[in-house]
Structure 1
Amino acid sequence: MILVEIDGMFHSLMRPWVGYQVAIVVGVFLLSYVLRLWLGPPIRAWMGTREGWPKWRMRVLVVVHQRLRAIFFVVVMWAVVLAMREFTWPSRSYILSLVATLAMAWLLVVFATRLIRSMLLRRVVRIGASIYVTLYILGIVDETAEVLDAAALSIGDVRLSLLLLVQGAVVIGVLFALARFITQSTSARINANEDISPSMRVLIVKVVQIIFYAIAFFAGVRALGIDLTGLAVLSGAIGVGLGFGLQKVVSNLVSGVIILLDKSIKPGDVISLGDTFGWIQTLGARYASVVTRDGREYLIPNEDLITGQVVNWSHSDEFVRLDIYFGTAYDDDPHQVRKLAIAAAMGVERVLSSRPPVCHMVGFGDSSVDYILRFWITDPTGGLTNIRGNVYLALWDMFQEHGISFPFPQREVRLLGKTQVDIAPD
């Protein structure tokens, strides 16, 4: 049957008007290419002047600009088809209408798949949809399905064919794309709700993602007619093996849930863990992203945040007390030194005046009287080293102005007697 159709198609292609239509298609393609070169730059320049437009509208314009040649081809091709139908017989525009229909269908598939954010999933759905619409327009869907269904592999009572695999990929891909769209829309609304704490937002978003993706997977598998009960024993055995092999991964997942539930750490907190000091940018299922002052981003496993000693500078409130140590000479009045140190710290911008600094004398050193200066800030995200440096500079200026000196160790070497060294003659 298929051979007969192919033979008839071959004889049809040998007709003179077929060559004319192919030439027209090539001409329209070249014309659309010229139109793209001619109108593309002005349209791009016009897009650059649309500063106040929303982002979604600008994205649509960008997609349209990227597909200008295909759009011109479809428009001109349909114009040619309508003109041919008006002035000639329909048989002389059959190939033109077929090409125009295919081009328009492929263009619609491209625009529709742009809604899928995942690049890999978008490409898979685009290829699958393009193949299906091509087969549908050519009218060979049933024949192709018979060929794919004939290529099958039977394992017990389960029969796997290429047709089933293709249908499964398409159904699961569409359901995953729908689940991704729903979870992103839900996540945006949850993150915009200021009544929910940041940690609870992250937890709710993760739970919503797991639920919708699980529903998409099981719904896709059930839609293909695959019985999941036969996979229960196998999945149990695999689960036991994965439990031992992925112990650390599971531990990090559980630790992440615990962190989100007890709200000990949340996005925006300033923490210290070992030599790492920074603020939490995101809380993931496996790790927390901590950004330091120098722009480095550390991915700290959630298990370390649970088992390790973490300093959360902004857990219960934003007040942070900092200590700096200094010393002055023994000739300087300690009462005046304390007053000048407090006044110097009060003159620094980030030091709180509502919680005034204090200065205490803490000991007598070898060459100096030692002091500790304590002050409070409310913005640890602004950095700790820089505020300490500013306070030290303020102390330097204040002490230089009032004649207070910073001592440094000095050593004297005294020779108590002459030591004569006898050098033997050669």
Structure 2
Amino acid sequence: MDPEVALPDSLTEVTLDLFSWAETFLSSLLRPWNAYQVLIVIGVFGFAQLFSMVIKPRMHDWMRGLEGWPKWRMRALVVFHRRLRMVLFVVLIWLVVMVMREITWPSRSYLLAIVANLATAWLLIAFATRLIKNTLLRGLVRYGAWIWVTLSITGLAEDTQRVLDSLAFTVGETRLSLWLVIQAIVILALLLTGARLISSTTAATIRRNEDISPSMQVLAIKFMQVLLFGAAFFLGLRLVGVDLTGLAVLSGAIGVGLGFGLQKVVSNLVSGIIILLDKSIKPGDVISLGDTFGWINSLGARYVSVVTRDGKEYLIPNEDLITGQVVNWSHSNEFVRLDIYFGTAYSDDPHKVRKIAIDAATSVERVLSFKAPVCHIVGFGDSSVDYILRFWIRDPSGGLTNIRGNVYLALWDAFNEHGISIPFPQREVKVLEGSQLATTRQHD
């Protein structure tokens, strides 16, 4: 890396020109009409501040009463509320400029027009940069755009560009200057912001399409995001003038090295794509994997988020879902059959017990009536006649233990009402002839 020898002579010339411009501008402020325009700007700013203090509280109260507005519209309204003083200043300064141009010479509103243009540009940049999510990147783009617009309106953009281009160093045959770096940051920020806006808008449209399954929606959104952000990155580098041929060779070499070190990561990525393509699981499905039981919250590139009934969120690698045994309670349909076992005394009529058990299960809210519960005798135990009660639900994400408990409780109430007894193991003790039963009383 060979830095360029010295700053070119043009840098000194440009610096002298900037100092000369600054001296001329400051001396011009001493002229009567220029001083008047400065005072007018200060007065307009004071009026804008006063009006914003009056309007802001009323607007805030009005905003608090709004209901049903889309989130993006509310965010735009909040940004407008925060920038209300600047908005009022821009409106008032342009009104003053138009009045001044009508009643006096245009030269006597020259500074006012510059301030109006600057304020308008700063306001538009402030609104536009709110679209950038990253706080650091938003600040860099905002302040960089403010500086560049200020230099452009004041006629110093070309001189500043020459200064920034003079601060450079070379790497082989590539010349990197501060101006090139700034261009790259601005262009990449704009392209990535545009890609994010297009991605979020298209993703919302895809999610609203009920003809596309949830797994295919996730796959389409992920593919679109990779395509848009990748295209924005490479297009930005190309617009700046970076040669992508060397980058392609370098990325190939890096890819070979990373392939060995990131086998698990690549395996999870490929497994995630397979899961999305074969639609074996999708957001909202209820699954069991080992001791983990819950519903799928989201499908990621590397893992699947599973939320359990106790609020824990498990991040299960995609590879485990491909290679392991997974129970998907709602894969082909949302109906789930549950079985519970119970027993009654031998003295109870089994026909009556079966009918009471079916009626009790049907009375529970989540049990489906059109897929009627059934009850069968499964054996004659030592102390009871054993039954199995089978019933169906359609919302396994609502929990399985709680619905079993509700059915057991309904059985308990129904058996008590109809005099059905639930036996427990009993033992008989016989005293043989000739034996003596001795009792021992304990005294305090």
User: One fold, TM greater than 0.5?
Assistant: yes
Deviations 1:20-41 (A, max 9, x none): 4444333322221111111122
Q: After alignment, is 411-420 or 179-188 more displaced?
A: 411-420
SS of 2:333's partner is: coil
SS of 1:153's partner is: strand
Q: After alignment, is 323-332 or 54-63 more displaced?
A: 54-63
Deviation at 1:298, TM superposition (A): 3.3
What does residue 38 of structure 1 align with? Answer: 54
What does residue 303 of structure 1 align with? Answer: 319
What does residue 206 of structure 2 align with? Answer: 190
What does residue 353 of structure 1 align with? Answer: 369
What does residue 96 of structure 1 align with? Answer: 112
- Distance between the aligned counterparts of 1:325 and 1:53, measured in 2? 52
Deviations 1:68-94 (A, max 9, x none): 100111122223334444555555443
- Distance between the aligned counterparts of 1:403 and 1:40, measured in 2? 72
- Distance between the aligned counterparts of 1:30 and 1:136, measured in 2? 27
What does residue 206 of structure 1 align with? Answer: 222
Identity %: 67
SS of 1:238's partner is: helix
One-letter amino acid of the counterpart of residue 129, structure 2 = T
Match of 1:12 among 7, 28, 35: 28
- Distance between the aligned counterparts of 1:12 and 1:350, measured in 2? 83
One-letter amino acid of the counterpart of residue 271, structure 1 = I
What does residue 413 of structure 2 align with? Answer: 397
- Distance between the aligned counterparts of 1:109 and 1:293, measured in 2? 47
Q: Does 1:267 align with 2:283?
A: yes
Q: Does 1:62 align with 2:62?
A: no
Distance 1:23 1:367, change over 3 A: farther
- Distance between the aligned counterparts of 1:8 and 1:67, measured in 2? 33
Q: After alignment, is 44-53 or 107-116 more displaced?
A: 44-53
5+ long unaligned stretches in structure 2: 1-15
One-letter amino acid of the counterpart of residue 158, structure 1 = T
Deviation at 1:141, TM superposition (A): 1.0
- Distance between the aligned counterparts of 2:369 and 2:121, measured in 1? 69
Deviations 1:243-266 (A, max 9, x none): 233333222211110001111011
Q: After alignment, is 8-17 or 222-231 more displaced?
A: 8-17
Q: Does 1:323 align with 2:335?
A: no
One-letter amino acid of the counterpart of residue 388, structure 1 = R
Figure out how many residues of one structure are paired with residues of the other and give that number: 420
TM-score, structure 1 normalization: 0.87
Deviations 1:284-337 (A, max 9, x none): 222223333444443332222212221111111222110112233454444443
Distance 1:245 1:31, change over 3 A: farther
Distance 1:367 1:26, change over 3 A: farther
One-letter amino acid of the counterpart of residue 189, structure 1 = T
- Distance between the aligned counterparts of 2:334 and 2:21, measured in 1? 79
SS of 1:318's partner is: coil
Distance 1:393 1:210, change over 3 A: same
- Distance between the aligned counterparts of 1:158 and 1:385, measured in 2? 67
Deviations 1:317-365 (A, max 9, x none): 2221101122334544444433332232233233233333233344555
Distance 1:73 1:182, change over 3 A: same
Distance 1:50 1:232, change over 3 A: closer
What does residue 293 of structure 2 align with? Answer: 277
Q: Cα RMSD (Å) of the superposition?
A: 2.9
Deviations 1:149-177 (A, max 9, x none): 12112111111111111111111111112
What does residue 166 of structure 2 align with? Answer: 150
One-letter amino acid of the counterpart of residue 229, structure 2 = Y
- Distance between the aligned counterparts of 1:186 and 1:7, measured in 2? 53
- Distance between the aligned counterparts of 1:412 and 1:11, measured in 2? 118
Deviation at 1:125, TM superposition (A): 3.1
What does residue 391 of structure 2 align with? Answer: 375
SS of 2:55's partner is: helix
Bigger relative contact order (CA 8 A; separation at least 6):
2
- Distance between the aligned counterparts of 2:307 and 2:386, measured in 1? 36
Q: After alignment, is 362-371 or 27-36 more displaced?
A: 362-371
What does residue 176 of structure 2 align with? Answer: 160
- Distance between the aligned counterparts of 1:25 and 1:410, measured in 2? 99
- Distance between the aligned counterparts of 2:173 and 2:422, measured in 1? 89
Q: After alignment, is 285-294 or 404-413 more displaced?
A: 404-413
Match of 2:251 among 225, 229, 235: 235
What does residue 28 of structure 1 align with? Answer: 44
Q: Does 1:136 align with 2:129?
A: no
Q: Does 1:74 align with 2:93?
A: no
Deviation at 1:121, TM superposition (A): 4.6
One-letter amino acid of the counterpart of residue 61, structure 1 = L
Deviations 1:171-213 (A, max 9, x none): 1111112222222232233222222222222212211221122
What does residue 12 of structure 2 align with? Answer: none
Match of 1:218 among 234, 239, 246: 234
